[in-house]
Chains A and B, each alone.
Chain A
Amino acid sequence: MKRLATAAFLAFLFSIPLWVSSLYVLHVLIITGIFTIAAMSLNLLLGYTGQLSLGHVAFFGIGAYVSSLVSLGFAVHLAPDWLVTLDPQPVWLAIIWAIAISGFCGWAIGRISFKVRGAYFVIVTISFAEVVRLVALNWDELTQGPMALNNIPPLTLSIPGLFEFSFIGKVPNYYLVLMAAIIAYVVIARLVNSQAGRAMIALRENEPLATSVGIEVTRYLVLSAVVSAAIAGMAGALYAQYVQIVDPNIFLFIYTVTMVIMVVVGGKGTLAGPIVGGLIFGLLPEALRSLEIRPELQWVAYGVLMIVIVSILPSGIVPALARWWTDRAARAPSQRDQQTPA
């Protein structure tokens, strides 16, 4: 049943470009997909290890910047007479670099910030994202600062002499993002259902108890941070090669908030949660835009919605639906029992 639903959902997603011809709609879906991937990666930290990271956009942005810089090439002075240059590299290599470097940053930040918990952890992660944003803004030589990196080449796959294919335009990018989302989902699902995933959930539920049965806290937290950051970096790289321009505004806090809302509303700690949340909050702004609602009001609505959801559905939409479903399934036979008189 569940498999069937998944297959139907995937078939639906794959079929969309066949019957949707509006480029605008496809564009919205691509951006939604990219942010859903980012939300999925955040869910690994927030939902499964229970650590609220509000610096997640840093990894997304680092992924975007690394992939752009590697594919564009750069020349930068690390010291007055120490010039580091890199010639433009193929985009697939750039994306791999983006994933690797984001993952490395996740490792470094994880090592540092998992020393503290709760509110302090939140503040460290916010600070980290702000520092990265200010570096991107001020290190003109590398990042062009507010001038932004332009003309980022699209992903091109080729086997020399045999075939060459560039992901230009909406439909190829749609499938690219969809494939990336599936890969990210599978990676996260495998991780969560493995021994490491169970260790993470144990940590979330009761850290002292988990420690007492021999779970190495920091190791699993850092592992989840690395995977999470790497996937966010991949999302960032896809974003960069799709929109072909990256500026420091990519690090704005509001994107982190968007990801957090997607995860919390959809249901943290569930595999489907961020997808549901991502689809809702990716498509909702466009729906509101067609109603010609001012963007400020839209954000006010987001804020209020977040308060309401956290207050009445603290675990999010997906767990609530699942509970409703099992309740109904459980009630159905018992009602039949009552109807037949003894």
Chain B
Amino acid sequence: MLGGIYALLGIGLTLIFGIMRVVNFTHGELYSFGAYMMFMFVMLLHLNFFLSLALAMALGVALGAVIEFVLLRKLRGADIDTTMLVMIGAWIAMQNLEQLAWSGVAKSIKTPFRSTPLVLGGLSVAWSRLFVFGVALALIAGADAVVDRTRLGRAMRATFQDSAAARLMGVDIDRVYLSTFALGSGLAAAAGALLGPIFVVTPGMGDLAALKAFAVVILGGLGSIAGATIGGFLLAFIEEMGAGYVSSGYRDAMGFLLIILVLIVRPTGLFSRKERIG
């Protein structure tokens, strides 16, 4: 289940990173934004759970588009460090706005699922987790279809390979960037909206999520949806192993150790054939 979420986060990040060459530090904030929107719709406005999920995702897409339009459009062509610093600034501002708006107290969200788990043979799985897993897989497949099958997706892939050449061929780069960032942000918000009801929602929840998304991207290699998906599940698996065999306190450290290891041994990611370093 966590693997699916990590994969969702990673795909959003890897698309933005691969296509726009932007290290998106606001990714974790979009994740927590999704969770807070879910909380607002379900717990405060008492909307239907599934409708809320769709709304949270749509707002994530919209917020992503706004960030791209307001902050990143001007920075086109600026070097990667400048963009990174701006994104860090945006991240700090967003996180603290969230804290201001929702206070630091952890929030929980009610789910419509039965609390009795589904028992399959020797395994028991909670319904809510099954749902999260299913939606995550559907979204991954959807994102893959968008990038692989549509006209926009073709423009995205062209931009990823060579943005100057893509522009010469008549690709509207601004539109590609805008939709890439919006799509990636929507996926992050979806991840938050899905996971929020299972755990609790706190303003700092995005930080760890963002760092794990980075781990997934590095594992999977730049701009590769398949890589990010495998990376997501691999990270979740390794964390569980680490928590089980070493110490549960080091669960979150596993991802970071993995990043460092992968970058030492194979800096381009495990599943990438492209020779592209930062």
Residues of A within 8 A of B259 (CB): 123-124, 127
Please determine whether A134 and B249 come into contact, CB atoms closer than 8 angstroms: yes
Residues of A within 8 A of B93 (CB): 299-300, 302-304, 307
Please determine whether A134 and B250 come into contact, CB atoms closer than 8 angstroms: yes
- B94 on interface, CB distance cutoff 8 Å: yes
**Bound-state Cα–Cα, A299 to B250, Å:** 29
Please determine whether A302 and B92 come into contact, CB atoms closer than 8 angstroms: yes
**Bound-state Cα–Cα, A296 to B84, Å:** 22
Please determine whether B253 and A314 come into contact, CB atoms closer than 8 angstroms: no
Please determine whether B211 and A304 come into contact, CB atoms closer than 8 angstroms: no
- A73 on interface, CB distance cutoff 8 Å: no
**Which of B86, B97, B211 makes the CB contact (< 8 A) with A127?**
B211
Residues of B within 8 A of A88 (CB): none
Residues of B within 8 A of A52 (CB): 81, 84-85
- A69 on interface, CB distance cutoff 8 Å: no
Give the size category of A's interface with B: 35 or more
**Which of A118, A257, A294, A314 makes the CB contact (< 8 A) with B92?**
A257
Please determine whether B214 and A306 come into contact, CB atoms closer than 8 angstroms: no
Residues of B within 8 A of A127 (CB): 211, 214-215, 255-257, 259-260
| A-B pair number, CB within 8 angstroms | 129
- B117 on interface, CB distance cutoff 8 Å: no
**A296 → B minimal CB distance (Å):** 4
**Bound-state Cα–Cα, A307 to B85, Å:** 7
- A330 on interface, CB distance cutoff 8 Å: no
B83 (CB) vs chain A CBs: closest residue:
A310
Residues of B within 8 A of A113 (CB): 260, 263
**Bound-state Cα–Cα, A254 to B92, Å:** 9
**A274 → B minimal CB distance (Å):** 15
Please determine whether A128 and B260 come into contact, CB atoms closer than 8 angstroms: yes
Residues of B within 8 A of A121 (CB): 278
**Bound-state Cα–Cα, A305 to B89, Å:** 8
**Bound-state Cα–Cα, A264 to B84, Å:** 12
Please determine whether A122 and B23 come into contact, CB atoms closer than 8 angstroms: yes
> Which residues between 193 and 249 of chain B lie within 8 Å of chain A, taking CB atoms?
207, 211, 214-215, 218, 247, 249
Q: Answer whether A119 and B23 are a contact pair too, CB < 8 Å, given A253-B207, A310-B86.
A: yes
**Bound-state Cα–Cα, A300 to B92, Å:** 6
- A115 on interface, CB distance cutoff 8 Å: yes
- A4 on interface, CB distance cutoff 8 Å: no
**Bound-state Cα–Cα, A119 to B80, Å:** 8
- B144 on interface, CB distance cutoff 8 Å: no
> Which residues between 284 and 308 of chain A lie within 8 Å of chain B, taking CB atoms?
294, 296-297, 299-300, 302-307
A134 (CB) vs chain B CBs: closest residue:
B253
Residues of A within 8 A of B153 (CB): none
Please determine whether B211 and A120 come into contact, CB atoms closer than 8 angstroms: no
Residues of B within 8 A of A304 (CB): 89, 93
**Which of B86, B252, B255 makes the CB contact (< 8 A) with A306?**
B86
**Which of B81, B89, B94 makes the CB contact (< 8 A) with A50?**
B81
Residues of B within 8 A of A311 (CB): 74-75, 86
Please determine whether B250 and A118 come into contact, CB atoms closer than 8 angstroms: no
Q: Output the residue of A126, A260, A296 with the most chain B CB within 10 A.
A: A296
**Which of B17, B207, B214, B256 makes the CB contact (< 8 A) with A131?**
B256
Residues of A within 8 A of B88 (CB): 257, 260, 303, 306
**A144 → B minimal CB distance (Å):** 14
Q: Mark B75-110, 1 if CB is under 8 A from A, else 0.
A: 100001110111011111111110110000000000
**B170 → A minimal CB distance (Å):** 29
**A320 → B minimal CB distance (Å):** 15
Q: Mark B156-188, 1 if CB is under 8 A from A, else 0.
A: 000000000000000000000000000000000
Residues of A within 8 A of B255 (CB): 127
Please determine whether B100 and A135 come into contact, CB atoms closer than 8 angstroms: no
**Which of B80, B84, B92 makes the CB contact (< 8 A) with A303?**
B92
A145 (CB) vs chain B CBs: closest residue:
B249
Please determine whether A131 and B253 come into contact, CB atoms closer than 8 angstroms: yes
Please determine whether A303 and B253 come into contact, CB atoms closer than 8 angstroms: no
Please determine whether B96 and A296 come into contact, CB atoms closer than 8 angstroms: yes
Please determine whether B96 and A303 come into contact, CB atoms closer than 8 angstroms: yes
Please determine whether A130 and B278 come into contact, CB atoms closer than 8 angstroms: no
A118 (CB) vs chain B CBs: closest residue:
B278
Residues of B within 8 A of A302 (CB): 89, 92-93
**Which of A50, A120, A299 makes the CB contact (< 8 A) with B267?**
A120
**A146 → B minimal CB distance (Å):** 10
- A112 on interface, CB distance cutoff 8 Å: yes
Residues of B within 8 A of A128 (CB): 256, 260
**Bound-state Cα–Cα, A254 to B207, Å:** 11
- A138 on interface, CB distance cutoff 8 Å: yes
**A76 → B minimal CB distance (Å):** 16
**B94 → A minimal CB distance (Å):** 7
Q: Which A positions have Cβ atoms within 8 angstroms of B?
A: 50, 52, 112-113, 115-124, 126-128, 130-131, 134-135, 137-138, 253-254, 257, 260, 264, 294, 296-297, 299-300, 302-307, 310-311, 314
10 A-B pairs with the lowest CB-CB distances in the bound complex, closest first: A118-B278, A303-B93, A306-B89, A303-B92, A138-B249, A127-B256, A299-B96, A307-B89, A134-B253, A296-B96
Additional A-B contact list (7), CB under 8 Å, known A300-B97, A303-B92 = A115-B263, A116-B277, A119-B278, A121-B278, A130-B211, A131-B257, A300-B92
Query: Can you give 8 contacting A-B residue pairs, CB < 8 Å?
Result: A52-B85, A116-B267, A120-B277, A122-B23, A127-B257, A128-B260, A303-B96, A306-B88
